[in-house]
Amino acid sequence: MRRYGVSKYVTGLVFLIIGLLVGAGIAMSSPGKTVTKTVTQSSVVTVTKTITPAAQTTTKTSKPSGFAGTIYIGTTISLKGKFAHEGEYALNGFKVAIKWLNDVHGGIKVGDKVYKVELKYYDDESSSQRVPELYSKLITEDKVNFLLAPYSSGLTKAAAPVAEQNKIVMVSHGGASDSIFKQGYKYIVQTLSPASTYLRSVVDLIAEKDPNAKVALIYENAAFAATVAQGAKDEIQKKGLKLVYEKPYEKGATEFGSIINEAMAAGADVLLGGGHFADGTALVQQAWQLGWKLKGIGIIVAPALAEFKQQLKDAANGVMYPAQWAIGVKYSPEAAKKLGIEWFGPTNEEYLELYKQVSGGGTPDYHAAEATAAVLHLAKAIEVAGSLDSDAVRAAFNKVDIMTFFGRLKIDPATGLQVGHQMVVVQWQSGEKKIVYPPEAAQASPIYPAENWYKR
Amino acid sequence: MDLSILAINLVNGLLWGIILGFAAVGLTLLWGVMKVVNLAQGEVILLGSYVAIILFTQYGLSPLVGGLAALLVGLVAGFLIYWALLHKLVGKVERITLKIEMSTLLAMFALSIALLNFYYYAFGSEPRGFGLWSIGVPYVRVLDTTIRTNILLADALALISVAIVYLFLDRTILGKSIRAVMQDAQAASLVGINPVKIKLLTTVIGIGLTVFSGFMVLLFEASVTPEIAHKYAPLSFVVVVLGGLGSVVGSLVAGIIIGLIYGFSKVVVSLFNPRISDPVALSTAFIVLILILLFRPEGIFGRKR
Amino acid sequence: MAAGHDNEMGTKGSTLEHYLKSPTLLILVFVVLGILVARIMGMSTLDTIMTVMYFMGIALSLNIIMGFAGYVSFGHAVFLGLGGYAYVLMVYFIKPLADLQNTGYGLGAFLVAVLAGLFAAAVAASVGAAVLRLRGAFFAIATIGLDFTALYLFKAVVPELNPEQFFGAQIILPADRIVEKDLVFNAMFLTLVILLAVNYYIRKSPFGVGLTAIKEDEDAAEVLGVPTTMYKIVAFTLAGFFTGMVGALFSLNGGGVDETLFNLGHSIDMIVMIVIGGLGTVLGPVIGSLIYFELYDLLLVHYPGVNLIILGVIVAIVVLFFPEGLIGLLRKYRVRGVRLRDVLE
């Protein structure tokens, strides 16, 4: 063994100090160290893993004075990853609602005080692993008063325990899966129609037109799509249609050769199903390319986006999709009056105008409308509660029964499931989206069988 | 069992297997000759897909031109990958030790992180493809099943390419030197073969073929997202291990075997529970991989070492 | 045996003298204290600290097989997934375990996580006995195969366990089965301390020397009488066990589990942290995970979108030019005439 002498101790000490620094480094690695919480600026910089540019604040400050305070609503948006499409629409939808509440409505009235609304959000990158962390951060650091769920059932499920543990009301705008609401959670409420009702109106339409239809149900093997399929199966049975083929496919599948061939061999002439954008588009595209003669096609999610038409051109015509909302729906203050319920929020015309302003000339789709409606739903419940306390607001949700541009909003008191709202059926006709069902909301009559698909 | 269902799935499995087999040819050459496992296999495949897509959507060029461009881009990419990553690690080394092998794994792995996230950055996660484009009529009927002509085109190109690569390795002097290095690098350098030259050539050909196969993958899948890298890379490893390192024909045959096993197990599992047939069928490929690694690591076409 | 000499040296001087000469243990203690101080003083959010501990945990787990024995397990995320699913399924279906996890300031959750870890370890031991005969790339590929096999089997089986509730392979814990985050922190902290101790012990023990010998030259180690097969299996099992535990507590923290836990991306995290820090040391993964955590953020804030591209480039540069990682780099230098390699381990 060599002798090391004094210098060895010195080096040891140097490393001790390094150890101290590392330890202190962990202690100091607070993600909030550079957070700037100014109301008008949108520059909140953070240093935690998983947080993209950072929490951004959306505010419209036309009335700087006169507010008693600010209600902070927190959420995550999928700006990257597989839900980036939907995320962008949802973000604009939130912005529209906030703009309407602050600028047009004049703030949220809580008792005799008026509060301004502000949104705080992070990018969850469509990852269910990022979501819980970001939601705790919103609650513990950003001190938001209420939460909006992330887009998609999967991410909503990931966020739910966090909201529940912190006892903060969370409104779901993109989590349609029914099972989230069957876990005994007390603080989640739903603004959109649950997944099990998605294809119900499409099945009803087909049953009216063609009682002998032979249906193939081809859907993504994931929480949301599987629930939709289960609901569709129940409705098909109820209406006496024939289900000749059923197949769940793997997440991310884009090649459907064998599935479509099996369905054709089973003699199916109606295709129902889908999942998300990529697979739904690929499914319809290959059904077209393989020459499948179909009378009716009802696909969830994908056909609602303009890119669907861009990719499929003429093959898009005839394809139907269920929508929570579509441009041209006829919900109006008059319709609300007829039902004897209160109207809340902008009219459909005002909504389109506001969206144009917020998005810089864009037009909303149903993801945007869901998001807007969720904020309106929450705002109404806060006003009914007359309090910012989550328990009071949750109780008030049970009393809310309103009509908005998005449709009727009313929840099941026990579970929080949406029961007031109804899906509409939209069909691509000559390159345009037309609401075709139910008849009272329709802009055009449905084309069934779809000529371009069936007679080729 | 419904025979037409079996036929549909076996035909589909065969058509897919040919693509899988060809996609792994570049990998098997790199692994066999240079002992470099290309962990960026899936991302390199996607390079070819995206080259063809850009030329089609941005410049309106025919997908067939895009396919040719993918091959050319692939050859250049091979050249760059050799000089940027591999030369420093394996260029002058005669015997690849375990440590060097680990370094190459990690280097290719770094390339895969960078490339994959570049795709997400540049192309997003939306599906991209040739839309409704097809060569001639969109589909033909074969046996009991309808097949997109694009898939037939992809399979034909794959088979022709495998044949050309096989003839190149078997008949030309350059090809023979590659095989010589594969069998015994030291002996090869003794008879005057420049190992650096051969390694560069192998990388260029291997990466080039892999990128080219991205064009076939795109024709088969109709559209691609960056995520598809995670489907084709692991399956390529299965194919290479099953076919035997460095064996071009083995790779093709192994691809077809995997495709047929996939199709067959899907039908069999469907008999019991159609809901789970897809994931179980996909897992069979990896069970085959582990079994082969354990009981016949030289693969079905490899020579015992 | 190069790794053993510090041990003998320690017996000569006083204890303090020994630790000052070789302060690895002290540095580790300070890291642990840093976490504790951050938690108690509320200097970081609980979730930030949990993320740091999660990263450190998976890096230290894989380190046992990759750092010491040189076997790169590319599919190591499989044990993360196995542990996560084992934990969530246990508390979902077994009422006593669900009750247990809320007891004893987190000790209950820790015990259930040990069960989940044992499940992962059982898989690791049985599979390891087979695949550890393979070396280098073949071993790496085999573990990837293992990961995908498990991924697809769980995707097939999980939805069938409760078709009413488990659509896809995602399971969310019901409201009465989730655990307070403070308790999860305690359980994770305890796991991390044990993991550090195990890593440190292996580094100092004949077992660790044997693993290092396997890394340097397995055939030679065999000839020298190292029971290579047994050592490798033990190391792989330990790595699987701790990865499983971390995966279990990570899932508990998130209130559920889904198939993304099997993503190769998690293996990427582990490997990159060890490579940046330095293979074959205890400090390497610890420092590597801290650097990775900060680097990730820094890149994310300043270069969103291209952050992971840059990360890939950084890993390539480390592999090509600093193959021994940060610790390896430091060990090449001398401070006041003393080689740092004698100080840092």
CB A316 within 8 A of CB A309: yes
Chain A: give the shortest CA distance to residue C233, in Å: 31
CB C253 within 8 A of CB C50: yes
Q: Would you place residue B298 in the very low, low, confident or very high pLDDT band (cuts 50, 70, 90)?
A: confident
A26 belongs to a structural domain: no
Chain B: give the shortest CA distance to residue C156, in Å: 5
In a shared domain, residues A249 and A319: yes
pLDDT digits (tens, 9 = 90+) for B124-178: 877 888 888 888 888 888 777 888 899 999 999 999 999 999 999 999 999 999 9
pLDDT digits (tens, 9 = 90+) for C45-66: 677 788 889 999 999 999 999 9
What's chain B's average pLDDT? 89
Q: How far is CA C89 from CA A344, B302, C258, in A?
A: 44, 43, 11
Task: Tell me the backbone φ, ψ of residue C335, rounded to 5 degrees.
Answer: -120, 120
Q: What is the pLDDT of residue A384?
A: 95
Exposure b/e, C39-73, CB count within 10 A at least 16 = b: beeebbbbbbbbbbbbbbbbbbbbbbbbbbbbbbb
On the question of pLDDT at A129 being above 70, the answer is no
Q: What is the pLDDT of residue C19?
A: 65
CB C68 within 8 A of CB C203: yes
Which CATH number covers residue C228? 1.10.3470
Question: Which residues neighbour B215 within 8 Å (Cβ) at sequence distance 6 or greater?
Answer: B48, B49, B51, B52, B63, B66, B67, B70, B71, B154, B157
Q: To the nearest 5 percent, what fractions of chain B are helix, strand and coil?
A: 75, 5, 20
Measured between alpha carbons, how far is C342 from C10 in angstroms, rounded to an integer?
13
Question: Is the Cβ pair C135, B98 closer than 8 Å?
Answer: yes
Q: What is the pLDDT of residue A76?
A: 93
C77 belongs to a structural domain: yes
Query: What sign has the CA pseudo-torsion C203, C208, C209, C212?
Result: negative
Give the lowest-confidence range in A18-32, B50-64, C197-211.
A18-32
B300 belongs to a structural domain: no
In a shared domain, residues A103 and A221: no
Question: Is the Cβ pair A53, C301 closer than 8 Å?
Answer: yes
Q: How far is CA A253 from CA A281, C31, C178, C255, C301, in A?
A: 11, 45, 33, 28, 33
- Cα B271 to chain centroid, rounded: 31
pLDDT digits (tens, 9 = 90+) for C316-328: 888 888 887 887 7
* Chain C residues within 8 A of B282 when measuring between CB atoms: 148, 152
**Chains in contact with B, counting 3 or more C-beta pairs less than 8 Å apart as contact:** A, C
Phi and psi based region of residue C225 (left: phi greater than 0; alpha: psi -120 to 50; beta: remaining): left
Domain count of chain A? 2
Question: Is the Cβ pair B222, A255 closer than 8 Å?
Answer: yes
Question: Which of A11, A126, A138, A251 is the best substitution to test chain C (most C C-beta atoms within 10 A)?
Answer: A11
Residues of B with CB under 8 A from a CB of A: 2, 4-5, 8-9, 12-13, 15-16, 120, 124-127, 129, 131-132, 134, 138-139, 144-148, 150-151, 220-225, 227-228, 231, 263, 266, 274-275, 278-279, 282
Helices and strands, number each (H, E), in chain C: 16, 4
What is the pLDDT averaged over residues A5-31?
Answer: 59
C28 belongs to a structural domain: no
A289 → closest Cβ in B2, B134, B145? B134
Adjacent-strand bridge partners of B142:
B145
pLDDT digits (tens, 9 = 90+) for A70-107: 999 999 998 877 788 889 999 999 999 999 999 999 99
pTM for the complete prediction?
Answer: 0.81
What's chain C's average pLDDT? 84
* Chain C residues within 8 A of B289 when measuring between CB atoms: 141-142, 145
B279 belongs to a structural domain: yes
Question: Is the Cβ pair C20, A12 closer than 8 Å?
Answer: yes
Q: What is the pLDDT of residue A351?
A: 94
Question: Is the Cβ pair B241, C141 closer than 8 Å?
Answer: yes
B163 belongs to a structural domain: yes
Q: Would you place residue A7 in the very low, low, confident or very high pLDDT band (cuts 50, 70, 90)?
A: low
* Chain A residues within 8 A of C297 when measuring between CB atoms: 47-49, 51
CB atoms within 10 A of CB C99: 13
Chain C: give the shortest CA distance to residue B137, in Å: 36
pLDDT digits (tens, 9 = 90+) for A292-305: 999 999 999 899 88
In a shared domain, residues A380 and A363: yes
Domain that holds residue C310: 47-342
Q: What is the pLDDT of residue A255?
A: 87
CB atoms within 10 A of CB A129: 20
Per residue, what are the HEC states of A112-172? CEEEEEEEEEEECCCCCCHHHHHHHHHHHCCCCCEEECCECHHHHHHHHHHHHHCCCCEEE
Q: What share of chain B has pLDDT > 70, as a percent?
A: 98
Does the beta carbon of C37 lie under 8 angstroms from any beta carbon of chain A? yes
Question: Is the Cβ pair A12, C23 closer than 8 Å?
Answer: yes
Look at strands A170-172 and A146-148 and give their pairing: parallel
In a shared domain, residues A142 and A239: no
- State which of B209-218, B223-232, C98-107, C214-223 shows the largest mean pLDDT: B209-218
* Chain C residues within 8 A of A132 when measuring between CB atoms: 47, 253-255
In a shared domain, residues A204 and A293: yes
On the question of pLDDT at C291 being above 50, the answer is yes
Measured between alpha carbons, how far is A192 from A198 in angstroms, rounded to an integer?
10
Residue C225, both tokens: 């009488």
Which CATH number covers residue A361? 3.40.50.2300
Task: Tell me the backbone φ, ψ of residue A102, rounded to 5 degrees.
Answer: -80, -45
Give the start-end residues of each E strand in A266-423: 270-274, 296-300, 319-323, 342-343, 402-404, 407-409
B28 belongs to a structural domain: yes
In a shared domain, residues A184 and A217: no
Question: Which of C147, C319, C324 is the best substitution to test chain B (most B C-beta atoms within 10 A)?
Answer: C319
C253 belongs to a structural domain: yes
What is the pLDDT averaged over residues A187-211?
Answer: 92
pLDDT digits (tens, 9 = 90+) for A248-280: 888 778 889 889 999 999 999 999 999 888 889
Residue of A nearest to B230 (CA): A252
Q: Would you place residue A51 in the very low, low, confident or very high pLDDT band (cuts 50, 70, 90)?
A: very low
Chain C: give the shortest CA distance to residue A184, in Å: 6
Which CATH number covers residue B68? 1.10.3470
CB atoms within 10 A of CB A395: 15
C52 → closest Cβ in A26, A46, A161? A26
pLDDT digits (tens, 9 = 90+) for C122-175: 999 999 888 898 888 888 889 999 999 999 999 889 988 887 777 678 888 888
Domain count of chain B? 1
pLDDT digits (tens, 9 = 90+) for A400-420: 999 999 989 999 999 999 988
Q: What is the pLDDT of residue C40?
A: 75
Domain that holds residue B255: 3-295
In a shared domain, residues A54 and A106: yes
Measured between alpha carbons, how far is C216 from C209 in angstroms, rounded to an integer?
11
Per residue, what are the HEC states of C82-145? HHHHHHHHHHHHCHHHHHHCCCHHHHHHHHHHHHHHHHHHHHHHHHHHHHCCCCHHHHHHHHHH
On the question of pLDDT at B194 being above 60, the answer is yes
User: Residue written as tokens 């390891």?
Assistant: C128
Residue of C nearest to A34 (CA): C301
Question: Which of C18, C33, C47 is the best substitution to test chain A (most A C-beta atoms within 10 A)?
Answer: C47
* Chain B residues within 8 A of C70 when measuring between CB atoms: 98-99, 102
Measured between alpha carbons, how far is C195 from C153 in angstroms, rounded to an integer?
29
In a shared domain, residues A309 and A403: no
On the question of pLDDT at C4 being above 60, the answer is no
In a shared domain, residues A211 and A307: yes
Does the beta carbon of B276 lie under 8 angstroms from any beta carbon of chain C? yes
Task: Tell me the backbone φ, ψ of residue C211, rounded to 5 degrees.
Answer: -60, -40
Chain B: give the shortest CA distance to residue A422, in Å: 29
Q: What share of chain C has pLDDT > 70, as a percent?
A: 86
Does the beta carbon of C295 lie under 8 angstroms from any beta carbon of chain A? no
CB A86 within 8 A of CB A150: no
Does the beta carbon of B115 lie under 8 angstroms from any beta carbon of chain C? yes
Considering just the CA atoms, what is the radius of gyration of chain C in Å?
20
Measured between alpha carbons, how far is C169 from C251 in angstroms, rounded to an integer?
14
CB A274 within 8 A of CB A280: yes
Peptide bond into A438 cis (omega under 30): yes
Q: Would you place residue C176 in the very low, low, confident or very high pLDDT band (cuts 50, 70, 90)?
A: confident
Domain that holds residue A143: 38-193+331-409
Residue A185, helix vs strand vs coil: coil
Adjacent-strand bridge partners of A217:
A246, A272
Domain count of chain C? 1
In a shared domain, residues A161 and A202: no
Question: Which residues neighbour B188 within 8 Å (Cβ) at sequence distance 6 or greater?
Answer: B177, B180, B181, B195, B198
Question: Is the Cβ pair A132, C300 closer than 8 Å?
Answer: no
* Chain A residues within 8 A of C49 when measuring between CB atoms: 26
On the question of pLDDT at B36 being above 60, the answer is yes
Q: What is the pLDDT of residue A38?
A: 26
Q: What is the pLDDT of residue C5?
A: 44
Helices and strands, number each (H, E), in chain A: 14, 17
* B:C CB pairs within 8 Å: 134
Residue A198, both tokens: 């998605």
Interface pTM, i.e. ipTM: 0.86
B305 belongs to a structural domain: no
